[in-house]
Amino acid sequence: MSRKIDKPAAEWREQLSPMAYRVTREKGTERAFTGEYWNFWESGEYRCVCCGAPLFASAHKFDAGCGWPSFSTAAAPDNVEEAEDRSHFMLRTEVLCRQCGAHLGHVFDDGPAPTGLRYCINSASLRFRPESGDDDAG
């Protein structure tokens, strides 16, 4: 798929922390209960750490008890895409940033009403912007 933002690996490596690069560009994951946003409850929006596209809102965040930030819906559905993931001998639905192709995490059908979805997202793929619109935190 053609992306609005397409950079060589060397540029992504310069821009991102080693963990953010591993998660977003190599489809890695952070260990549960270790990411910056898994137990973070301030009001604002979560953007792609790679390109800054708005992805999720704190209003849709909930404690799924899984150790990763969890959202019941994408705040900007046009900025999120899904793909089949058959890695690790499982069938899952991968969540990606539509703008730059960053791996964000996975979506499952065990979330709360009204969507029934749980977007299980790596903190390393996100950058938080407080509701006030001040400088990005994190």
**From CA 91, how far away is CA 41, in angstroms rounded?**
30
Q: Give how far Cα 68 sits from Cα of 2, 19, 28, Å.
A: 29, 15, 13
Strand-pairing partners, residue 71, are 61, 119
β-pairing, 92-97 vs 103-108, is: antiparallel
Q: Enumerate the active-site residues.
A: 120
